[in-house]
Amino acid sequence: MNTEAVTPPSGINIFSSFPPGVFMRYEPAIGSTPVVVDVSRSGHRYPVDFRPDAPFSAVHTKISMYVDELLSYAPEAGATLLVAEFPITVIDTNRLPDDVDPAIVDGTLSFTPNPTDRSLKNGAGLIHTLGAGRVPLYEGKLSAAQIMARIQRYYDPYHAELKRLLEKAKEGQNKAYHLSFHCMSSIDPKNPDGADARRPDICLGDLNGQTCGTEFREIVAEYFGKQGYEVAINSPFKGGQLIERYGKPEAGTESLQVELCKRLFMNEANGERSEKFCELQRQLGEVVRQVCEYSKR
């Protein structure tokens, strides 16, 4: 069975950021809608100055493999697609900009670190310090200058572009709909033997109803449910910085995080696409199309 990813159809306007390596933007193929899809964690364009000490497998396995390709149909469905090119192990745009463990910093940052458990316990704050299997990414500290350079070169431009796109989307009817796509492992690596170790097929997060309306969320949940997928709401993931920052229903922007279980589209043991890859890819294009139709009401 063909499991090759479908590339965006011809006719889509593609924009690459400058400096290069930050993001790619794909404009809607036909017409436009106030729908923006962002994929922030699938980047695999490694900067030449990014040199962690961990084995490449521990570094690369952390990215949301193939999610950018799975959303290839989003522009054809009428949405604008924003894709980060840099890896999550360089900097994580789904984290607060001050979520940094001060113990990893050599020098003084231009802001006061405010670390959460994601950085202190899980090594997965703004700057990831642990790779797959909790392998340390660095033997020593990172200089404050290195961290600030990553924020200024990657984090800030990606967020600035996403903010711009959502503000532009609101120009017509003062409404914008934002889908932030990610992926998750099938089994919770922190509690692999627990009662809730097996994760659902799809997890929709809206920070317990804070970042989008129920109607918008249920359109997505209902579609996946009709396709036979197990859909969970705000469990195991409620959502991160990308929807918290922009999802303001009272101001006209609704943001929903969509976590796709890796078993739906890849072999988690060897990292290869599975035979169901193209089917899921088409289904994601359809759910984006339905959101685009909903946005026109």
Is the residue at 2 inside a domain?
A: no
Residue range(s) defining the domain that contains residue 247: 14-295
Task: Identify whether 21 is part of a domain.
Answer: yes
Bridge pairing between strands 202-205 and 253-261: antiparallel
Kindly state whether residue 5 falls inside one of the protein's structural domains: no
Q: What is the pLDDT of residue 158?
A: 98
- The pLDDT value recorded for residue 1 is 42
Residue 52 lies in a domain: yes
Say what the pLDDT of residue 7 is: 59
pTM: 0.94
pLDDT average per 10 residues of sequence, the chain (297 residues): 54 86 94 95 96 94 95 96 97 98 97 96 96 94 97 98 97 95 92 84 98 98 98 97 98 98 96 96 98 95
Q: What are phi and psi of 195, to 5 degrees?
A: -65, -30
End-to-end CA distance of the chain: 39
In a domain, 1, yes or no: no
In a domain, 180, yes or no: yes
Per-residue confidence (pLDDT) for residue 191, from 0 to 100:
81
Residues 291 and 212 sit within 8 Å (Cβ to Cβ): no
- Residue at 263 is within a domain: yes
Number of domains in the chain: 1
Q: Tell me, what CATH number does 145's domain have?
A: 3.40.630.40
Peptide bond into 236 cis (omega under 30): yes
Per-residue model confidence (pLDDT) at position 48:
94
